[in-house]
Structure 1
Amino acid sequence: MAFEPMKEYADSDGSYGHVSTQFADFEGIVLESGVFLGPLRVAYETYGTLSPGKDNAVLILHALSGDAHAAGLDADGRAGWWDAMIGPGKGIDTDKYFVISSNCLGGCKGTTGPPSICEATGKPYGRSFPLITIGDMVNVQAMLVKELGIEKLHNVIGGSMGGMQALEWAVRHPDMVRSAVVIAATGRLSPQGIAFNWVGRNAIYCDPASACNDSSPGYDYQRVGKGLAVARMIGHITYLSEETMEAKFGRKLRLKDMNGYSYSLGENGKEDGEFEVESYLQHQGSSFMRRFDEDSYIMITKAIDYFDLAGPDGDLTPVFRNIEAKMLVLSFSSDWLYPTSMSLAIVRALQAEKKHVSFVELDLPYGHDSFLVNAGIPMLTRIIRGFLEGV
């Protein structure tokens, strides 16, 4: 693998400053399906300085639509998706820790995924990209960590799909993980979660304008249908709480000068949305279309569907037997996608195996995405900072 150290600095306002994405190249990997995928490229960023003993590394694990840019400012001045948590003096303190954040396998932000060029065809993989698992994502991350010369991580941390990866890290690579923080996650995806993902993918499959309707490798990536936008709207609803939606939108109408309902579906019978909540979802969908790849969405949600550490009998306990890491499990009182009961199932299984585990349910009103909402960061910071310092 070849990589160039990136130049960065921490600016005075607590932001990590300007960062650049690096790339690590590998021959390939045998996936859980038995398929060999290669060559393999991993996009990643680092923040902070690796200690002489290489014992202060923290690995950040992103959720479904995340990427390697977790902190600092990119070339366009865009802040990382967890910039409020990562940086000098922040919850994950870059004055103390060497922080690594990579784009997951199957993603569309630099790591090998459906938009990548297939060596055999010279065209993007598209829907011919092999199906992957959360375990495959973690195994690729382990390759990166080892290539960086790190034998043991101080911590792995992630929310939602990132929390699933944190669990997989503790289970699959117990000798490489000193501690793990699992936020708003589950040990096995529920039927409800599978159902939401299935409906989202079908929004893509049923869209005649979708590039995914061409199953051959190398279809026109400029041709993206609105199915991805609908899939995002469906998913985004599950990330919010009823309390948040009521407070933010209520039943407010989009056009402030309207005295009542329009009683019209608009031109061509396709309504634009009268309510503010509808306008908000339209914005979320259209912006997602501009920044994400629909085939990556399909592959990653399939990987989430496959996630089941418990296996057919539904018992997480045996799978946690070899875990060596100290564990912190966090849930949110308003999260109905991965409710507290799912976090408690993880905690009880760890306790049954007499593992070192701490648990906190955070009383935040923002739903599943509470760990990404800046208003919740102070509470998260206190808990996570204390845990990391105690490892």
Structure 2
Amino acid sequence: MSDDQRFGLARHVILKGPLKLDGGGVLAPVEIAYETYGTLNADTSNAILICHALTGDHHVASAHPRTGKPGWWTRMVGAGRPIDPARHFVICANVLGSCMGSSGPATIRTETGAPYAMSFPVITLRDMVRAQAMLLDHLGVATLEAAVGGSMGGMQVLEWAASFPDRVRAAVVIASAARHSAQNIAFHEVGRQAIMADPNWRGGDYYGRGDPPSAGLAVARMAAHITYLSEAGLHDKFGRKLQDRGEKGFGFDADFQVESYLRHQGISFVDRFDANSYLYITRAMDYFDLAEEHGGLLANAFKGTRTRFCLVSFDTDWLYPTGESRAIVHALNAAGAAASFVELSSPFGHDAFLLDVPQLFGVVDGFIRAGAR
């Protein structure tokens, strides 16, 4: 196996389209940035699609080109991992609307020679999945051995199973939900308003000016990041400890370690993400409601499916709590689908799917291997 096959091959493709969108418009052409690992076998039966979360990207197991940090899921994808390029042809595509090479608000519009900005069409998760299906057609992959994802990635996996049931033999849905709750929408709206209230946002027309709405985007990231953690985890890591000082400053600098931590998360985020993309992707997540797409009954989304499902939740995840996964399992049972479910214990909250939780890797490894027998 070559180094490219082992560590990932970064690619970019421009597909003619058109891609019909749920909002009524069309997108053409469709640009998709993606990475592959491993080799597609002769009968094209070993492909696994990794779907990334809100602020993720296609660099699932290779270094991020801007930050230099390792891929975001090297615990799951790699030699000796549950998803191993020695056995699987692994694909991870940057989602539609993002800022890492796929079509989004920062993409140059052919007709104008300028970025789309806020003229980019509002998209849905189903639109994202349709774009991924176009990519798989381009790659010659008719059927996936599995689609795997956590958080928004899990939502895409559910959409894959509902929209393209004959193309997905197995679906792994981790720390996710079948629709966005009012609380989820509320947190996203706080972030969007922070961005749009930044004077540098300029109605989304800030590209090329050298002063993007960094302050607003940082605040949006800070608010969202709180939802990814657990109260117990925050207490254990920070408590009420002060930041580099022996006593309170009686001002509005970062007195507490947790304040400094959140500010760092916000500042580092603006170096790798686009504010308009954040608006578009959070809106796509808010619109997601798989039951609504199928007559108001979630079980209808999986009617007659032959896909095998594995669902995993975490006991400290309050963003997408275990009840959300159980609702999906109940719908799968009602539809007669093959489904397994486990709630894992972790102090990490929602972010547990990205962190070192050995039980998770054992569950995913066993589920994927069982399908290959």
Taking structure 2 as the reference length, what is the TM-score of the superposition?
A: 0.95
1:120 to 93, 111, 122: 111
Unaligned runs of 5+ in 2: none
Partner amino acid, structure 1, of 2:248:
Y
Partner amino acid, structure 1, of 2:282:
T
My pick for the range that moved more, 68-77 or 325-334, is 68-77
What residue is the counterpart of 1:177 in the other structure? 168
SS in 2 for 1:331: strand
RMSD of aligned residue pairs (Cα, Å): 1.8
SS in 1 for 2:127: helix
1:48 to 25, 38, 44: 38
- Offset of residue 223 of structure 1: 2.6
- Offset of residue 314 of structure 1: 4.9
What residue is the counterpart of 1:379 in the other structure? 359
Unaligned runs of 5+ in 1: 1-5, 11-15, 266-270
Higher helix share: 2
My pick for the range that moved more, 219-228 or 157-166, is 219-228
1:23 to 9, 12, 15: 12
Aligned mates of 1:150, 1:221 — CA distance in 2: 41
Question: Is this contact kept in 2: 1:177–1:325, CA < 8 A?
Answer: yes
2:71 to 70, 80, 85: 80
- Offset of residue 353 of structure 1: 1.1
- Offset of residue 323 of structure 1: 2.5
Aligned mates of 1:91, 1:235 — CA distance in 2: 29
Aligned mates of 1:195, 1:178 — CA distance in 2: 35
Task: Indicate yes or no: 2:34 matched with 1:8.
Answer: no
Partner amino acid, structure 1, of 2:213:
V
Question: Is this contact kept in 1: 2:105–2:117, CA < 8 A?
Answer: yes
Alignment of 1:304-383 (within 5 A): 304-311=285-292, 314-373=296-355, 375-376=356-357, 378-383=358-363
- Offset of residue 191 of structure 1: 0.4
Aligned mates of 2:2, 2:134 — CA distance in 1: 23
What residue is the counterpart of 1:388 in the other structure? 368
Aligned mates of 1:78, 1:216 — CA distance in 2: 30
What residue is the counterpart of 2:264 in the other structure? 283
Alignment of 1:118-197 (within 5 A): 118-197=109-188
- Offset of residue 252 of structure 1: 0.3
Question: Is this contact kept in 2: 1:128–1:216, CA < 8 A?
Answer: no
Name the CA shift for 1:73/1:228 in 2 (closer, same or farther; >3 Å): closer
SS in 2 for 1:80: coil
Aligned mates of 1:184, 1:37 — CA distance in 2: 31
SS in 1 for 2:32: strand
Aligned mates of 1:166, 1:346 — CA distance in 2: 12
SS in 1 for 2:292: coil
Task: Indicate yes or no: 2:298 matched with 1:303.
Answer: no
Partner amino acid, structure 2, of 1:45:
E
Alignment of 1:62-101 (within 5 A): 62-73=52-63, 77-101=68-92
Name the CA shift for 1:42/1:274 in 2 (closer, same or farther; >3 Å): same
Aligned mates of 1:384, 1:94 — CA distance in 2: 15
Partner amino acid, structure 1, of 2:73:
W
Write the deviation string for residues 85-140 of structure 1: whole angstroms up to 9, x where unpaired. Answer: 10111111111111001100000001011111011211111111110000000000
Task: Indicate yes or no: 2:227 matched with 1:238.
Answer: yes
Partner amino acid, structure 1, of 2:150:
G
Aligned mates of 1:382, 1:215 — CA distance in 2: 44
Aligned mates of 2:116, 2:304 — CA distance in 1: 37
My pick for the range that moved more, 227-236 or 311-320, is 311-320
What residue is the counterpart of 1:59 in the other structure? 49
- Offset of residue 322 of structure 1: 3.6
My pick for the range that moved more, 72-81 or 364-373, is 72-81
Question: Is this contact kept in 1: 2:206–2:212, CA < 8 A?
Answer: no
Aligned mates of 1:164, 1:136 — CA distance in 2: 12
Partner amino acid, structure 2, of 1:238:
T
Write the deviation string for residues 37-56 of structure 1: whole angstroms up to 9, x where unpaired. Answer: 12111000001111111100
SS in 2 for 1:330: strand
- Offset of residue 255 of structure 1: 1.7
Aligned mates of 2:92, 2:3 — CA distance in 1: 15
Aligned mates of 2:170, 2:301 — CA distance in 1: 17
Write the deviation string for residues 222-246 of structure 1: whole angstroms up to 9, x where unpaired. Answer: 4333000000000000000011100
Question: Is this contact kept in 1: 2:314–2:344, CA < 8 A?
Answer: yes
- Offset of residue 171 of structure 1: 0.2
Partner amino acid, structure 2, of 1:125:
Y
Task: Indicate yes or no: 2:227 matched with 1:227.
Answer: no
Write the deviation string for residues 139-197 of structure 1: whole angstroms up to 9, x where unpaired. Answer: 00001011111110000000000000000000000110000000111111100001000
- Offset of residue 217 of structure 1: 8.5
Taking structure 1 as the reference length, what is the TM-score of the superposition?
A: 0.90
Aligned mates of 2:206, 2:110 — CA distance in 1: 11
Aligned mates of 2:262, 2:79 — CA distance in 1: 34
- Offset of residue 218 of structure 1: 5.4
- Offset of residue 320 of structure 1: 1.6
Name the CA shift for 1:118/1:7 in 2 (closer, same or farther; >3 Å): farther
My pick for the range that moved more, 71-80 or 189-198, is 71-80
SS in 1 for 2:312: strand
Identical aligned residues as a percent: 48
- Offset of residue 272 of structure 1: 2.2
Partner amino acid, structure 2, of 1:58:
I
